[in-house]
Structure 1
């Protein structure tokens, strides 16, 4: 966390704090730390004012893998992902105007938990998840239309868990499970 340009006494920026929060949450999602330890570490990360304090809060956690986070963004037009595409651990989808279509039914999901943050302005979004996926939508807010999602029972205990968060402005969001 610290580098030659960032001494232990240098004040922490918001981007570094958000990155530290993501590392703690990822360690919890990978079952490397218990819930109580996650709460304690998050409290210390959010209270840290210097890089030295932040390093202490993250001590013992695995280093962040830069390949586990991706952003798909478009100011206007369509965003489409389908077929056998690699799903990162954390995916952010940003669209000001336009339609979003994510098909995860044939995607390569290598992580037990995938976090998808939606930052959508105007336009409809359709997301297809694997048939046996466990979907969590508690962190998601919709502005104009309600979310259309009907949960189903996972068919296997090691089914991927997909957690949605973020906000959808004007448009309909539809999340459905694949038929096969």
Structure 2
């Protein structure tokens, strides 16, 4: 019986991590950066590790020295379920696909938390220079097969990349924003006999970073107050 209790947690840490698991850890790291517990370099290094992590156990390593990791172990207090009509669905992933064709996403559009780009004998262009950022962490997962994926971001966001090429090219110009609350765009993917490229677009800036973050915090606080009043 004791052996089962000891091995159960280990088995849980070996579970494959989902995108939702990675988003949860990324949110904790973002809060730690805002509180001054992590430097900008430490935050960037850990977020890159989170994107590359394969299991739940690998994710936990990046927050084990943060208070949020210990708070999550507190006894769970059941909360009454919200009515189905008030439930807020998760934002769906945004897919940009080009098969023997071209696909372009540009102008004033809302960038979701995750964007999937697939170029198969075609070209995909994702231009975030005028996009509305509703999340601080935006992940673009790109696959290029005999095609090209081109990503452009404003100059005052952070840009990260993790991927490679097989007889192809994967090029991401890493960029560090001066503002800690600025959006962070992660480009993750593989180019097979194709190309993936991510660079800042000169002269383009996200002008409402602080206002956007404050509105997000106010909205979250309002939701918590509304929930506690029930």
Normalising by the smaller structure, the TM-score range is 0.5 to 0.7
- 1:169 pairs, out of 192, 195, 215, with 192
Q: Residue 101 of structure 2 aligns to a residue in which SS?
A: coil
Query: Is residue 2:152 matched to residue 1:132?
Result: no
Aligned to 1:123: 147
Closer/same/farther in 2, CA of residues 65 and 114 from structure 1, 3 Å limit:
farther
> How has the CA–CA distance of structure 1 residues 133 and 68 changed in structure 2, closer, same or farther, with 3 Å as cutoff?
farther
Query: Which of 6, 14, 21 is equivalent to 1:24?
Result: 21
TM-score, normalized by length of structure 2? 0.54
* Distance verdict in 2 for CA 1:167–1:147, change over 3 Å: closer
Which has the higher relative contact order, 1 or 2, with Cα contacts under 8 A spaced 6 or more apart? 1
Residues 84-163 of structure 1 correspond to what in structure 2 (within 5 A)? 84-138=108-162, 140-163=163-186
Q: Deviations over 1:17-53 (max 9, x none)?
A: 87x6111111111128988xx98x8149xxxxxxxxx
User: 1:64: Cα distance to partner?
Assistant: 8.9
Could you say which structure has the larger radius of gyration? 2
Contact 2:159 2:173 in 1 (8 A): no
- Asked if 2 retains the 8 angstrom alpha-carbon contact of 1:23 and 1:64, the reply is no
8 Å contact kept, 2:190–2:196: no
Cα offset, 1:68, TM superposition: 4.4
Point out the structure with the larger helix share: 2
**Residue in structure 2 matching 1:42, options 56, 59, 62:** 56
Q: CA deviation at 1:128?
A: 0.6
Q: Per-residue deviation at 1:148?
A: 3.3
* Structure 2 Cα separation of the partners of residues 152 and 91 of structure 1: 19
Which structure has the highest strand share of the two?
1
The 3-state SS of whatever aligns with 1:179 is: coil
Unaligned runs of 5+ in 2: 1-14, 33-45, 59-75, 78-86, 204-230
Where 1:31 maps in the other structure, the secondary structure is: helix
CA contact (8 A) 2:119 2:148 kept: no
1:30 and 1:75 map into 2 onto residues whose CA distance is: 34
Whole-angstrom distance in 2 between the partners of 1:68 and 1:134:
23
Instruction: Number of aligned residue pairs: give it.
Output: 144
Contact 1:73–1:95 (8 Å) recurs in 2: yes
